[in-house]
A and B are shown apart, each in its own frame.
Chain A
Amino acid sequence: MAIIIDETKKVIVQGITGREGRARTRLMREFGTRVVGGCTPGKGGQEVEGIAVHDTVAEVVAAAGGVDVSVVFVPARLVKGAAIEAIEAGVKLVMLVPDRVPLWDAMRIAQCAAANDAEFIGPNTLGVISPGRAVIGMIGGRADSAKQWFNEPIRGKTVGVMSRSGGMSSSCGYYLSRAGLGISTICHVGGDPVLGLTFPEVALKFEDDPETDAIVLFGEIGGSMEERLADLCQTGRVTKPVVAYIGGKAAKEGTRFSHAGAIIEGDRGTHVGKVKALTAAGATVVDGFGDLPEAACAALGVAVEAS
């Protein structure tokens, strides 16, 4: 199975003629992603990597007979328009790769997605990869590296990975694979304050995925997504083992949490609060990042493979 992306999903690229769009289209295809079209306003009629370029998402959707996912590689200030265009054209999952998307733009995208029953990932996401199946975004980089780094699912010992750090998404997948575990999907939810899919939503997808045996996450201080995930574990909505590392323990508090508006969030947002919430919900929280693979193996009751 895997979640979010697999080889059957029809993917399009917005901003396909740009530097990143062009390069990533090739890499996604090399890994096995079914890229069926792309668009850049004013560039309709061109071709990128043998893929027809259209002016608008609606045209690509019509030409492809419907699409499942749009991956957006346009400059940050144009992301809002691109995302809303895709959602209004009927695309149900939009991935926003660019960094520096203004916050109020992200909230407007969220409003549009909610109104149209669509989901989005990011902004500021490295992407999502389902080893052996497909990748969207730029996670893993070169296809041959990604194939080498991340194990495909292995019966009885496959984990789903979700992370708030892009680089650490790949690191988690790599070190877990080296410990002998299979990976169903790695999802980098993004590093921004307002995101589409967050840990709770991704965890529910992993919960429904028969191939995923446990959930591993790289969390960080700030925001509430770790606490909300803990709530789901507490209430029995997420029953699979959860293994977590929370970054930012040593980060200086007081600057970002100094306003009354943040302080009255209570325990939420702090390292201590997140560890406490997850631990109380039955998750394993490791103190050192290097301890994640062993803890994941322990949660699944399998031995760490020497590599």
Chain B
Amino acid sequence: MARLHEYEGKGMLKAQGVHVPAGRAVASADEAEQVASELGGHVVLKVQAWITGRKDKGGVRFAKTPEEARKCAEDLLGMQFGNFPVEEVLVEQCLEIAHELFVSLTIDDAARTPMLLLDCAGGTGIEERADTVARLAVSVSDGIDRDDVAAVLSRSDIPQESHQALLDAIDAIVETANVNEARSFEVNPLVVLRDGSVCAADCRVTIDDYAVFRHPELGIEIARELDHPATDLERIAYQLEQDDHRGTFYFAKLPTDGWESSKGLIGFHGAGGGGSMMSMDAVTNEGYTLANFCDTSGNPSAAKVYRAARVILAQQGLTGYFGSGSGVASQEQFHSAYGLAKAFNELEISLPVVVRLGGNAEDRAVEILEDACEGLPGSVEGYRKDDTPAFCAARFTTLMDGTSGVSSDQLTRNVPDWVGGDAEAFPIEGGHVWIDLAHCDAALTAQMAEWSSGVLKDDGTGLPAIACDEQTAAKSDSEFIACEIECLRAGRPVLFVDLPIAGIDCPQEAS
């Protein structure tokens, strides 16, 4: 879930006609003083951070003068919550509150509709009053049932003259959630002021990750919930995912505090959510610390698995690589085997690697992986569906125990020396395919045609050439990777798929 800050949510509400307090977010004490003086001096300052119980944690301060506001902002901007330093503070006019309401829109999995949670006694202690909170189903096409909401308001001690304004505000909050495709939208509290007007005093919004592509105006950089500011590697991985929708690719760093006292820092490569979680448990139970979570599933292309492995191995300080998913994958697993074999060969991996490749075509997948990686300094072992995650994790421990002094820091990408020279090259999506024609012959070309699933053919003189149109060839990165690995296995490394990763192998384009 992509989380937004309070002021961003309030911006959305304002656009739908909901009143919000005057003020704006600032990143410096100077600006805070400036905004406070514009608002007449008496202001509230609130850290913009993804925390609960902000007030109790000292994240809310009141100031009577612009100078005081400046001092408060200095304090607040120096705070840190969890892994997030406070970078922005919202400075707003103080409100004279008569009534507070708790208004929250969530998505109800049982009703398959948005659900409005409404409590006219406000949000304080809401957890204890869970049973008395009104739960009103919302029509995804028509919004709230105003009669239902009016009935809840009429049972409260809020004066009748504010009910219409509250109804309008609640209607607009739901509409705001709808137009922005929120996963949750909480206004806690929605307040009635002493003058009877209604205003959203706080706002907490998450946007549906899957809808973020329809909302470029929100400027969401990474559409997922992380417990830390996104790292460079997470940004790189997220961009790779956006560029290639063949199957799922998810990468997130995990907290590794105290890993030195564990048996080692491990790169984890899962396949499928449920199976990945079980596999993570298995390797954690062996006493290792996982540096990351990564999931490539849903029939991912070889290129996607290759890139995922490269991202995992770009982390510093890894001493091993463990891959495992559900173990009975419906997808044909040799695509993953080709992708992994390419990454491990390119990096000449020295770390111990255990990958559980159980599922369709698992025998072929294991053979490809182990055979292609046989000459590498690190041991690379593949396993099948009848090998449990616990067995694979134990096997991993055996390999780790027999290895010392290796780290992912030592890995560098090796590109064959004939690449970039006079060799044949043609572009594909995300890079180039290079062929060392000087070392090709008719017999090898015939095999390359087969290994590339017919994307390559004999050009009539015994040399490989593209057999299809340029557009098809450009999308055939996985077929070329298969061909590259098979050439390698045959001891004839004449083809290289160059898929440089922006941010790792080459500078990232400015976005």
Q: When the two chains form the complex, which single residue of A110, A139, A167, A195 contacts B297, counting CB atoms closer than 8 Å?
A: A167
Q: When the two chains form the complex, which single residue of B123, B227, B275 contacts A255, counting CB atoms closer than 8 Å?
A: B227
B99 at the interface (CB under 8 A from A): no
Determine the chain A residues whose CB is within 8 A of the CB of B330 once the complex forms.
126, 138-141, 166-167, 170
Expressed in whole angstroms, the minimum distance between the Cβ of B202 and any Cβ of chain A is 11
Q: Are B211 and A251 in contact (CB under 8 A)?
A: no
| Contact flags A160-199 to B (C-beta < 8 A → 1, else 0) | 0001111110110111000000000000000101110010
A155 at the interface (CB under 8 A from B): no
Determine the chain A residues whose CB is within 8 A of the CB of B141 once the complex forms.
108, 111
Q: How many A-B residue pairs have C-beta atoms within 8 angstroms? Tell me.
A: 177
- Give bound CA distance, A84 to B324, whole Å: 37
Q: Are A171 and B277 in contact (CB under 8 A)?
A: no
Q: Which B residues, 324 to 375, have Cβ-Cβ distances below 8 Å to chain A?
A: 325-332, 359-361
Determine the chain A residues whose CB is within 8 A of the CB of B275 once the complex forms.
165, 167-168, 171
- Give bound CA distance, A138 to B37, whole Å: 63
Number of interface residues of B (CB under 8 A): 67
Which one of B102, B139, B245, B275 has the greatest number of beta carbons of chain A within 10 Å? B275
Q: Are A223 and B113 in contact (CB under 8 A)?
A: no
Determine the chain A residues whose CB is within 8 A of the CB of B222 once the complex forms.
none
- Give bound CA distance, A255 to B105, whole Å: 18
Expressed in whole angstroms, the minimum distance between the Cβ of B489 and any Cβ of chain A is 23
- Give bound CA distance, A72 to B478, whole Å: 25
Q: Are B109 and A170 in contact (CB under 8 A)?
A: no
B28 at the interface (CB under 8 A from A): no
Number of interface residues of A (CB under 8 A): 66
Q: Are A99 and B178 in contact (CB under 8 A)?
A: no
Using CB atoms and an 8 Å cutoff, list the residues of chain B in contact with chain A: 1, 52, 102, 104-107, 109-110, 112-114, 117, 123, 126-127, 130, 133, 139-141, 178, 181, 183-184, 186, 188, 204, 206, 208-211, 213-214, 225, 227, 245-246, 248, 271-275, 277-278, 280-281, 284, 297-299, 325-332, 359-361, 385, 388, 390
Considering the complex of A and B, which 10 residue pairs feature the smallest CB-CB distances, nearest first? Answer: A167-B326, A165-B274, A167-B272, A110-B112, A141-B330, A141-B360, A102-B211, A168-B274, A264-B130, A261-B104
26 contacts between A and B (CB under 8 A): A99-B248, A100-B209, A100-B210, A102-B181, A107-B114, A126-B330, A140-B330, A141-B360, A142-B360, A166-B297, A166-B298, A167-B273, A167-B274, A167-B297, A168-B272, A168-B326, A193-B107, A220-B273, A223-B109, A225-B109, A260-B102, A260-B126, A261-B105, A263-B130, A264-B127, A265-B130
**Besides the contacts A142-B360, A259-B106, what 18 more A-B pairs have beta carbons closer than 8 Å?**
A100-B209, A102-B211, A103-B181, A106-B112, A107-B112, A108-B140, A141-B329, A141-B331, A142-B332, A166-B297, A166-B298, A166-B330, A171-B385, A174-B385, A218-B274, A224-B110, A256-B1, A259-B104
